[in-house]
Amino acid sequence: MLIFALVDANSFYASCEISFRPDLAKRPVVVLSNNDGCIVAANQIAKDLANQHTQNYGSGGYASAKPTSMMFQPYFKVASFLERHNTAVFSSNYELYGDMSARMHRMLGEFAAAQEIYSIDESFLDLTGMTGLVGDLTAYAQMIKQKIHQGLGLPVAVGIGSSKTLAKLANHLAKKRVQFKGVLDLTAVSEDTLNALLKQVEIGDVWGVGRRYADKLVAMGIKSAYDLKVANIKTLRKQFGVIMERMVRELNGQACLTLEMVPPDKKQIVRSKSFGQPVHDLKKLEQAVATYAARAAEKLRQQHGVCQYLSVSIRTNPFKQDQPFYANHHAMGLVYPTDSTILITKLAKRLLKRIYQPGCAYHKAAVCLGEISVKGAMQLDVFAPDPQYSANPKSDALMSVMDKVNAKFGKGSLELASQGLKQKEQWAMRRAMCSPRYTTRIDEVMVVY
């Protein structure tokens, strides 16, 4: 029998902040989205606080909302509520979270023969055959949990099952039920106990069941994970396709999904962010687009790919009723596929000029690279001009140097002049409450007195 474990960090963004600030361990902690917009993460104390209070809250005359819906609420609506309860509020510190994620996944990889990094805070581990080596898997999972907390200060939950779907459900239950102490091994329970636990899981909480599927399943009388487990597999396949059939088989302990130890290459790379403040000037907009294009090209090279499609889009703020809304995008195909930051940035700026309208207060820009393939030999076109950067050994060497410098000295150490210098502060993402990047910046390392 195959055995999978899913290790998931609890409230990952908030836990990363608390890891370096032990004084926050008993305080509510929330993390905001880009430009300090909405609450995207909260520790358990903050979640419990929201659930305990039923009165409406708000500030500045804005529409009120219930505390139970605090997650993903605009920060300005809940600011006074958070302040009253001494909540620590942080802007998103993606550099810190990314590094802490890499450290956590590295540590987890030492506890199993195979690992799939599923998301920034989740890893699947293959524990098949481990029982003979470590004995009780629950005790082994508790040891993993303790090692991660000791090494990184991050609380994690571990779910174990005979399929990835059951491991995911076990992790969900391990988090929700205090009696499991953060670890649940569904391979060690009886069939009756397993069924009783699955009856406690709503259909919408089953891995892979989205809101649209959940509504349809509930209408069919399938309201829990157990209902889905015992449902007629032929009827579900006819209604929903092979994906739902696999889900049912996985709930019955048949492992239809294996570990993906090498993440699949992306077919499309998009870099997009809202600006910290409205941008009117074309020059500043060009700097933002050039920066996004450079980041996308860097990601493209990391997967050893080249793109043959490029698009740029811009828009004003759709929520500003006192301003006219404008949105547009332009795309182009490339004669030769490329991974050159120089060429991609040059073409992105050209596309931007075709859709830029003076007098607009731009709120967001995006760069998309598509038709991605593996970099290799190139078929030249007899009638097309020289591929320039696409097949230029000097360009490849330059891109390699840029990537190595930025990997060694930090992102943005070496950039194109078109990305701007100090002017970047005028359109960069607003993060007024950002914590130090403790693990990646020498000048921001924690000082202990």
What φ, ψ does residue 276 adopt, rounded to 5°?
Answer: -65, -30
Question: So what's the pLDDT on residue 134?
Answer: 78
DSSP for 92-148 reads --HHHHHHHHHHHHHHHGGGSS-EEEEETTEEEEE-TT-HHHHS-HHHHHHHHHHHH
Query: Would you kindly state where each structural domain of the chain is located, as residue ranges?
Result: 4-11+96-251, 28-86, 269-419
User: Cα–Cα distance between 168 and 173 in angstroms, integer?
Assistant: 9
Confidence of residue 107 (pLDDT cuts 50, 70, 90): very high
User: Cα–Cα distance between 217 and 215 in angstroms, integer?
Assistant: 6
CATH architecture designation of domain 269-419: 2-Layer Sandwich (3.30)
Q: How does the average pLDDT of the chain come out, rounded?
A: 88
On whether the pTM is more than 0.85, the answer is: no
249 exposed, middle or buried (CB, 10 Å; 0-12, 13-18, 19+)? middle
Highest mean pLDDT among 61-70, 148-157, 202-211: 148-157
> Residue 295 pLDDT more than 90?
yes
Same fold, 4-11+96-251 and 269-419: no
Confidence of residue 181 (pLDDT cuts 50, 70, 90): very high
Confidence of residue 231 (pLDDT cuts 50, 70, 90): very high
Question: So what's the pLDDT on residue 389?
Answer: 52
Average pLDDT over residues 82-97: 93
Question: So what's the pLDDT on residue 440?
Answer: 86
What single-letter DSSP state applies at residue 200?
T
> Residue 409 pLDDT more than 50?
yes
CATH architecture designation of domain 4-11+96-251: 2-Layer Sandwich (3.30)
CA distances from 210 to 10, 244, 248, 321 (A): 21, 11, 15, 33
> Residue 262 pLDDT more than 80?
no
User: Cα–Cα distance between 171 and 71 in angstroms, integer?
Assistant: 21
Confidence of residue 198 (pLDDT cuts 50, 70, 90): very high
User: Cα–Cα distance between 175 and 1 in angstroms, integer?
Assistant: 25
How many residues make up the chain in this entry?
449
Q: What is the CA radius of gyration of the chain?
A: 25
* pLDDT tens digits for range 335-391: 888 999 999 999 999 999 999 999 999 999 999 999 999 887 666 665 666 555 555
User: Cα–Cα distance between 317 and 8 in angstroms, integer?
Assistant: 36
